[in-house]
Structure 1
Amino acid sequence: MNSHPPTPLSVHKLSIGAGTQTLVNNVSLHIPAGGVLTLLGESGSGKSLLAQAIMGNLPAPLTCSGTIDIGARHFDAADLRARRTLWGRTLSLLPQEPWLALDPTMRVARQIGEVHEFVLGRSVDQAAAAAHAALTRLNMADAAAKYPFQISGGMAQRVAFLATHAAGAPVLIIDEPTKGLDSDRRNDVLAMLRAAIEDGVTLLTITHDVWLARQLGGTIVVMHSGAVVEQGAAAAVLGAPQHAYTRRLLAAEPAAWQRETGPADLPPVVRIDAIGKRFGAQQLFANVSTDIRQGEFVAITGPSGSGKTTFGNIMLGLLKADSGSVRRADGLARTAFQKIYQDPAAAFAPTVSLRRSLQDLLELHRLSWDELTTLMQRLRLPNALLDRLPSQVSGGELQRFAIARVLMLRPALIFADEPTSRLDPLTQQETLFLLREHAQRHQCAVLLVTHDPDIAARLAQRQISLRPDAAF
């Protein structure tokens, strides 16, 4: 139970810049005590930067101006350090990348228990019991003794939420809480957020999930190119959007896409014969047999923790199957199988600029910078982002850089693990259509992990649904 009094949050004329470039321009918003506000907008529109500015955690060399009110306290937005004194007890942020909120060397239950112990002053036994109870409520008791690298991205997201919310801060900012989750797990997160709201928490949610925005209600603010273009009650904005950008954003939902037809009967890139995989006593999948053919778009579906990422990693040769075999077509280059990671932060060196990372790739494989520039234009990635570190761009922008890097290699097979989980509907549609176009043009097979049944039904020619008794 939240022991703090309900706390309103207001932002007045907040702007964020990088040198002479304005990234967020003159944003004002208000959330009453115990209220809900959802930020919608495409990747790179400034939503996550706004959240970081409120927290006082903007990455250097970004600067901000304006004012922020948290409860009865008034802050100059430029004074980042002052708001850091509120972290945990008054103001909490769950970042877009769950791995940034978790200690990779600490077991899951302990990460949640430490908050109960050191912030709430409970004993070690009480903290452990509270952590296990929280995990059990989300049907994640089996994850208690695991490390973050041993659980799926969706499970890591829920663990990070439990750890963030455990301190009971009255103002909670949560960035993309349902990304990469299946419908059951999305409902779990919604139930957690509703429980927090009922407990008086003031909630600022950043999401590309229109379903979640509709379920949370409250106020919706739509951002585009760093500015607010529309705001109002959720039912009004989603039911009768006034701004052309909002209408385009909602019209790009996967349910409205045209269904894709299958390619010609081309040779297989890989043959899969009766593979199975288990971790300890848990059987992920068994007896999976199929061919993945050139130019084919195949969706891999199944609930969180069913082994979708594990299945792809077996295709790539990163893991070995417990049974069965995986045979690649003859004559493929060493780089013929490529992966687009679910968490793009794991795919880039954190201390190296994006320009240097991409330049190293092009020089190693003797590729053309002009071709990369064309891909960046298609993915709507401005050149100005190249000189930033991975942590200085949005999760959606980093995800698109990861896609561009893989497409440059023209592989025979791409394992795309939730490649658009951080993208708004409009950018997601453009990116997935580019991936499909690339597959068709270069006869590249794509294995797409997705929790969205509309994407699986409309983009892929067929689906592989993983479950413990899977057989094909």
Structure 2
Amino acid sequence: MSVLLKLTDVAVYVGDTCLLEPISLELKQGVPLTILGQTGSGKSLLAQAVMGLLPATLSLRGVVEVFGKPLPLSERQSLWGREMVMLPQEPWHALDPLMKGIHQVAEVYQHVQGQSYQQAMAGAAQDLQQVGLADSAHKRPGQLSGGMAQRLAISAATAGGAHVILADEPTKGLDVSRRDGIVRLLQSRSAQGSLLTITHDVAIARQLGGELLVMKEGRLVEQGKAVEVLDHPQDSYTQALIAAEPIAWREVARPSRDQAAETVLMAENIAIARGGRTLFEGVSFSVKKGEVVGVVGDSGCGKSSLGDALLGLLPVSAGKITRSNNTAKPYQWLKLYQDPPSAFTASVSLGTLLNDLVRLHGIAQERIAPLMTRLNLPETLLQRSCLEVSGGELQRFAILRALLLDPVFLFADEPTSRLDPITAKDVTHLLVELARETGCAVLMVSHDPDLVQKTCDQVIAL
């Protein structure tokens, strides 16, 4: 069994400070390797080190061998696309916003595999059919849901036929059926090579099998065969990760519905159509102050469209939406985006963005520190831009920014899809707790039925 990738005492430093402690591993042909851990544990940093994508401010120590040869940075980069490929954590960073999806996949077949235009288009169409995007093949990324964009990015990245595939959180934001489909796609694409997957999803680690490494705060805490580690975890951190899966959560205490409480919003027999196709129809519900309504369903079924319609960002094709709170400011009807990079500019630091918010709305500065503590956000985060923090950290910062505006209604679009299980559990319970405390009505979209069943006052299935 050949070793495709070997790391020997690989560590990452910024100056003399160690961010990723020395780690050694082997990626063998036909044996998938999964790295499991929380946001900020160093998983993505390790993948960047392997691919040669570390920022100039960071340095790599140790030896990276590819196909049995120690390769410096420049030689590893020459293998991109053809022999090594990394699937991005954020699909928006890998897709051309102006190019139709089928053309983004087809150009890989053309320019990497040397196929004719006709062959490339046929191969791209087949790939998109395999991941459930046949009807969206001629849409641009901005016309796709987050989960659909992720599937497009994976199809484009794997079309070159690379033998070593590094997948950084490849299934985040996807419903269970699509998640399983992506795993099968990655397994088939890596059949002649091997797959190194970075994830915070315990279910994905189980499904992939093979070897498993568990990381925490830049160091390796446990490793072995995936089935053995997950069925009989030895480290307390691994045990906590497994216990934090939504299926293992206790249901939150739900107060009895106060019929006299103010109704913030009411939807009556609404229907929404996009691109000439009806996503759903006949949906009716009301949301009172402090209530949390969960919306669950497959990717592309209209969950995000429902929330956008309630905020007045998308017209309904039938039915009526009534907002009862007429004293609220427009900025108190808010959306937490599924893909946090789409809600931030990278041109300034997060601290600057926060200061702008404080000045614009007269927010008391002393409110910030306690909320940052509750959201597990270090003060040093404010010195970085949105591109210099993890997806999970950026999502928690987005929640911080929203809560500072005292929202009347908050549409949380997959608010924990970028978070590891432990952080997702904490953030979900915090959102529910704050909704109760402040009287904010929350519409929480999720692809995980266990999460909404155990935390929400009512559930809408689309």
What TM-score, normalized to structure 2? Answer: 0.96
Structure 1 residue aligned with 2:251:
259
Where 1:398 maps in the other structure, the secondary structure is helix
Does 2:101 match 1:105?
Answer: no
Structure 1 residue 325: Cα displacement: 2.2
Task: Kindly indicate whether the alpha-carbon contact (under 8 Å) linking 1:277 and 1:322 is maintained by their aligned counterparts in 2.
Answer: yes
Counterpart check, 1:408 vs 2:404: yes
User: Structure 2 CA distance, aligned partners of 1:75 and 1:447?
Assistant: 50
- SS of 1:8's equivalent in the other structure is strand
Instruction: Give the equivalent residue in structure 2 for 1:443.
Output: 439
2:42 corresponds to: 46
Return the match for 1:375 from 359, 371, 376.
371
- Structure 2, unaligned runs of 5 or more: none
Number of the residue aligned with 1:222:
214
Deviation per CA, 1:309-329, whole angstroms, max 9, x where unpaired? 111111111112122222212
The residue aligned with 1:16 is 12
AA paired with 2:320?
A: S
RMSD: 1.6
Q: How far, CA to CA, are the matches of 2:353 and 2:75 in structure 1?
A: 35
Map 1:52-201; keep pairs closer than 5 Å: 52-76=48-72, 80-197=73-190, 199-201=191-193
Query: 1:85-141 CA deviation, whole Å, 9 max, x = no partner?
Result: 111111101111111111110001000000001111111111111111111122321
3-state secondary structure, aligned to 2:178 = helix
Q: How many Å apart are 1:262 and its aligned residue?
A: 4.3
* Aligned residue in 1 for 2:346: 350
The separation in 2 between residues aligned to 1:59 and 1:269, in whole angstroms, is 46
Letter in 1 for 2:338: Q
User: C-alpha deviations, 1:387-437, integer Å up to 9, x for none?
Assistant: 112111111111111111111111011111111112111111111111111
Matched residue, 1:276: 271
Structure 1 stretch displaced more, 380-389 or 336-345? 380-389
Question: Of the candidates 398, 416, 421, which is equivalent to residue 420 of structure 1?
Answer: 416
Matched, 1:326 2:318: no
Q: Within 5 Å, which residues of 2 pair with 1:22-37? A: 22-37=18-33
Would you say the 8 A contact 2:187–2:195 is kept in 1? no
Asked whether the equivalents of residues 263 and 296 of structure 1 are also in contact (C-alpha less than 8 Å), the reply is no
Give 1:263 deviation, angstroms.
Answer: 4.6
Distance 2:77 2:226 in 1: 31
**1:310-325 correspondence runs (5 A):** 310-325=305-320
Q: How many residues align?
A: 458
How many percent of aligned residue pairs carry the same amino acid?
A: 46
Aligned partners of 1:183 and 1:451 also within 8 Å: yes
2-side partners of 1:102 and 1:263: how far apart? 46
Q: For residues 335 and 263 of structure 1, do their structure 2 counterparts lie closer, same or farther at Cα, with a shift above 3 Å needed?
A: farther
Give distance in 1, aligned partners of 2:363 and 2:17. Answer: 31
| Structure 1 counterpart of 2:90, one-letter code | E
Residue aligning to 2:197: 205
**Contact kept in structure 2, 1:262 and 1:296, CA below 8 Å:** no
Q: 1:299 aligns with which of 280, 290, 294?
A: 294
Structure 1 runs not aligned, ≥5 long: 467-472
Residues 370, 19 of structure 1: alpha-carbon distance in 2 compared, 3 angstrom cutoff: farther
Instruction: Judge conservation of contact 1:11–1:29 (CA < 8 Å) in 2.
Output: yes
Counterpart in the other structure of 2:425: 429
TM-score (norm 1): 0.94
Q: Deviations over 1:315-349 (max 9, x none)?
A: 11111212222221221112221111100011110
Measured in 2, the distance between the counterparts of 1:315 and 1:262 equals 24
| Structure 1 counterpart of 2:364, one-letter code | S
1:285 match? 280
Of residues 294-303 and 380-389 in structure 1, the stretch that sits farther from structure 2 once superposed is 380-389
Measured in 1, the distance between the counterparts of 2:7 and 2:292 equals: 45
Does residue 236 of structure 2 align to residue 237 of structure 1? no
Contact 1:7 1:71 in 2 (8 A): yes
Are the counterparts in 1 of residues 4 and 28 from structure 2 also a CA contact under 8 Å? yes
- What is the rounded CA distance, in whole Å, between the counterparts of 1:300 and 1:28 in structure 2? 43
How far does residue 191 in structure 1 lie from its aligned partner after superposition? 1.4
Alpha-carbon distance, 1:270 to partner: 1.0
Correspondence for 1:470: none
Cα distance between partner residues in 1 of 2:106 and 2:97? 15
C-alpha contact 2:5 2:68 (8 A) present in aligned 1: no
Deviation of 1:72 (Å): 2.5
Q: Deviations over 1:280-331 (max 9, x none)?
A: 3311111222111111111111111111111111111111212222221221
Mark the CA change 1:352 to 1:313 in structure 2 (over 3 Å): closer, same or farther.
same
